[in-house]
Amino acid sequence: MSDVASAPQFSADVIAAVTAHMNTDHPEDNLLIVRSLGGLPDATSATMAGYDEVGAQFDAEVGGSVTRAVVPWAVPITERATIRQEVVRMYHDACAALGVEPRRAGEH
């Protein structure tokens, strides 16, 4: 059985909670991720639209239009805690790619 077939399905409530947290508390992180890992360097804003076993989905404003970017997970998503770990990894990878100093642990 493949990782995709065995990946847990998260409830709509869980997906809504994760995306609300990212869009309310981390809009700048969304933008960094989309600009570097999402392949949309000209994006001016980005919101997390959702996620699945493949990756995190972001809607980004680019030149007055909204474009969907999917940033793949580096590891299989097996539980909710893994989502957080992967989004943090994406943020740090995005900062490194763009030459941005990441927040220190505990800074929010």
Quick: pLDDT tens for 35-73.
999 999 999 999 999 999 899 999 999 999 999 999 999
Instruction: Report all structural domains of the chain as residue ranges with CATH numbers, in order of start.
Output: 3-98 (3.20.180.10)
Instruction: Specify the pLDDT at position 42.
Output: 97
Confidence of residue 10 (pLDDT cuts 50, 70, 90): confident
pTM for the full model? 0.87
Alpha helices in 26-67 (DSSP H): 27-36
Quick: pLDDT tens for 65-104.
999 999 999 999 888 899 999 999 999 999 999 999 998 8
Token code pair at residue 8: 């847990």
CA 44/CA 34 separation, integer angstroms: 10
Q: Which of 100, 74, 69 is nearest to 85 (CA)?
A: 74
